[in-house]
Amino acid sequence: MTETSAPRLLGPAEVRALAARLDLRPTKQRGQNFVIDPNTVRRIVRESGVVAGESVLEVGPGLGSLTLALLETGADVTAIEVDPLLAAELPQTIATFAPGHVDRFRVVLADALAVTEVPGPPPRALVANLPYNVSVPVLLHLMALLPSLEHGLVMVQAEVADRLAAPPGSKTYGVPSAKAAWFADVRRAGAIGRNVFWPAPNVDSGLVAWTHHAPPTDRVTREQVFAVIDAAFAQRRKALRGALRELAGGAEAASAALATAGIEPLTRGEALGIDEFIAIAVALAEQAAAR
């Protein structure tokens, strides 16, 4: 292999050999299911739209399957890994399987939910196989933390993928869908079977693609809008007049804010899009300012 050759991707034999050398026992606690199919990681990268020279953030690189496919595009990759064993091994894996691409890769030992900055050039794309148990909090945290992100694609549990991409009024629409809509246009980008992982998870996976847009308002903060969303879905079957009572400071105040926003008080949160949640937040802020 020459230094200018393309990376070699990890297949089942390579993944199991790496795991055996590290005496690695994947844990459910950290959602460790490693992709063993090169065609799958190439598909993820293709769907992500990552191009040569782009700065990419990856979360949970594990043994490096997706990392190598990202480097294959010519992208610059920063990977955040919470497992010290995996984070320490990853540079050696890149040096072995992609020796001509080492200078375009860095790994950060950190919890993605707790990071406050990311070293290197500001990332334009987020591409990740996210641990199922923290996928939504990680995605929303990084969208909020990194305004440089323009687009991305994440692999998550199929049910979570449905929720993230759900439109208002659908059965799967909820807090993840509404909050993600603040940051981006979100869409389902395909399904992933269980047999491309080791160990195989007991659920199917889905791909979620998103394209960043500017904050939809500057009249209220994101936190104010998210407080309305959280209250609206805290008791999903409850009408907004009751669901917003505590946040508004009483049922009358909640009804008045909904009237100002042009929303029927018996409407449920699942029927509202991000613009309606913003209208309620604005009305509540105006009420508070008038007191």
pTM above 0.95, yes or no: no
Where do we find the tokens 């802020």?
A: 285
pLDDT tens, position by position, 53-70: 999 999 999 999 999 999
Q: In this predicted structure, what is the pLDDT of residue 131?
A: 83
Residue 4 has pLDDT above 60, yes or no: no
- DSSP for 219-264 reads SS-HHHHHHHHHHHHHTTTSBHHHHTHHHHTSHHHHHHHHHHHT--
**Percent of residues, the chain, with pLDDT higher than 90:** 88
**Identity of residue 223:** E
**Identity of residue 235:** Q
pLDDT tens, position by position, 96-132: 999 999 999 999 999 999 999 999 899 999 999 998 8
Q: Which residues are annotated as a binding site for S-adenosyl-L-methionine?
A: 33, 35, 60, 81, 111, 129
Where do we find the tokens 């847009």?
A: 213
pLDDT tens, position by position, 248-259: 999 999 999 999
Residue 3 has pLDDT above 50, yes or no: no
Mean pLDDT of the chain: 94
Instruction: List residues bridging with 64 in a β-sheet.
Output: none
Task: Return d(Cα 245, Cα 8) in angstroms, integer.
Answer: 58
34-35 and 197-198 beta bridge pairing: antiparallel
Q: What top-level class would CATH report for the domain 12-212? A: alpha beta
Give ranges for CATH 1.10.8.100 in the chain.
222-290
pLDDT tens, position by position, 147-194: 999 999 999 999 999 999 999 999 999 999 999 999 999 999 999 999
**Whether CATH 3.20.20.70 fits 222-290:** no
Q: In this predicted structure, what is the pLDDT of residue 28?
A: 57
Averaged pLDDT, 213-234: 97
Q: How does residue 2 score in pLDDT terms, banded at 50, 70 and 90?
A: very low
Give ranges for CATH 3.40.50.150 in the chain.
12-212
**Percent of residues, the chain, with pLDDT higher than 70:** 97
Q: Which residues are annotated as a binding site?
A: 33, 35, 60, 81, 111, 129
Averaged pLDDT, 86-104: 97
Task: Return d(Cα 228, Cα 222) in angstroms, integer.
Answer: 10
pLDDT tens, position by position, 31-52: 578 999 999 999 999 999 999 9
Task: Return d(Cα 239, Cα 196) in angstroms, integer.
Answer: 43
Q: How does residue 239 score in pLDDT terms, banded at 50, 70 and 90?
A: very high
Of 46, 56, 69, the C-alpha closest to 190 is 46
Residue 30 has pLDDT above 70, yes or no: no
DSSP 166: P
